[in-house]
Amino acid sequence: MKVFGSFLFIIWTLCGSHDLKGVENSMPGRIGLNQVTESNSASTSSPSRSSESLRAPDGYVIQVGDILRVRLLDEGDFDVRTRVGKDGMINIPYIDSISVTSRSLAQVTELLQKKLAKFYVNPLLNLEIVEYSKRFVVILGQVEKPGMYEVPPLQDSVELMEAIAMAGGATKTGDLGRVVVKRQIEGKEKVIVIDTKAKSISRNEKGGGGFSLLPGDTMVIQTAKREFVMMGSVRSPGMYQLSPMIDEVTLLEAVGMAGGLSRAGDFGEITIKRTADGQDQIIRYDAKNLQRNKDGVRQITVRAGDTVTVQMTRNDYSMLGQIRSPGVYPLPEGEDSLSIFEAIATAGGATRLADLGEVKLYRKVANREMMMTLDVRSMGKSDKNKVFLIQAGDKIVIGERMF
């Protein structure tokens, strides 16, 4: 039986279509796995070829792109190298294509021995990995060295903070509070937004990260937004940039940047909405104290990301965000409401970057500010999606599309 097996192996080798040189000559410089012989293309080599085998860690399962070496230790002329194809298959002499991905070396060894036992008596088979597949993540945006980075061959993933370090770390303008990861799941792209400053992400109980990048992921570190929002009864509502190297300004300075208060009178209260450690906070302050410039007001600060609202007493509402003419607008005379479409039109219409599928509306109910999310795109298309009506004191913020 050994002679018969050796004879078949010689015939299989002489066919010429499985020469490993074809694999060697087509090896890519960086990725290019498509350039390498894959499924339905086993490869043989001379036993004299020197290639150091790699010891797979415990629990490692074979991946697409791995190059395997199959030898029969009692048959010196049986020495085969083959790359695992995109379909997870390999070809071995005398054996049809077999699936090897997601199996350990021990499992594949046992499977091959059973199949080769039809041609060899008690075959003693040795299976090794001579080259691991190259798998990559893409790191873009505000990092020192954006580009493509290889996932270490013995790892299934790269911890998020480790990946940022591989790219030289975030730049001074990088926003680690909002890192975007694109991932393909069942043929569809999923966008994951991560706050690396959150305790659950930046450091877990063991001191490591809580989120990992998988091969094929694209991570984008966006530019940090060093701005705050002024709304309500100020002369120029809108977004205002903090100066470089300054993390906050006093409330008096913030109101001054917005042109000051729009009129005298009873302004009710000023609210500062702030997100800290993943939690929303609301800071309230009496607007009369701001007018009178009391000492306590100088201790209140406005930070990047804050939304400051000076409460209004007139019959008006605020439009902010991706709108052509942000500001404060009165309700039509004699009316106590108007449709969201009329409000958007009055402010000049939405910009081309506006996300009308997720419009934020802030309304004070029973002395508490409530936030609602409106899908303006769907309004009016059916009885279930009626047009929303704006009331006096409402604050409408039209967000920006992520991509």
CATH of the domain at 18: 3.30.1950.10
Give the pLDDT confidence score for residue 58 in this predicted structure.
Answer: 63
- Residue-wise pLDDT tens digits, 94-112: 887 889 988 888 999 999 9
pTM score over 0.75: no
Give the pLDDT confidence score for residue 42 in this predicted structure.
Answer: 37
Distance CA 267, CA 311 (A): 6
Instruction: 353-359: list long-range contacts, CB under 8 Å, 24+ apart.
Output: 353/322, 353/400, 353/401, 354/321, 354/322, 354/323, 354/398, 354/399, 354/400, 354/401, 355/322, 355/398, 355/399, 355/400, 355/401, 355/402, 356/398, 358/399, 359/396, 359/397, 359/398, 359/399
Distance CA 71, CA 206 (A): 42
Residues 29, 112, single domain; the answer is: yes
Least confident of 170-184, 285-299, 386-400: 285-299
Least confident of 17-31, 60-74, 265-279, 301-315: 17-31
Percent of the chain with pLDDT over 70: 75
What mean pLDDT comes out for the span 365-389? 83
**How many angstroms separate the Cα of 329 from the Cα of each of 150, 233, 237?**
54, 11, 11
Q: Which of 223, 242, 275 marks a domain boundary?
A: 223
According to the 3-state scheme, what is the secondary structure of 301-338? EEECCCEEEECCCCCEEEEEECECCCEEEECCCCCCEE
- Residue-wise pLDDT tens digits, 110-124: 999 998 888 888 888
Q: Which domain holds residue 397?
A: 315-403
Q: Which of 106, 131, 156 marks a domain boundary?
A: 131
Residues 277, 395, single domain; the answer is: no
**pLDDT bracket for residue 324 (50, 70, 90):** very high
Q: How many domains does the chain have?
A: 4
Give the pLDDT confidence score for residue 41 in this predicted structure.
Answer: 38
Please say if the pLDDT value at position 37 is more than 70.
no
Q: Which segments within 67-134 are labelled E, that is strand?
A: 67-72, 75-83, 89-92, 95-99, 125-131
Q: Which of 208, 223, 238 marks a domain boundary?
A: 223
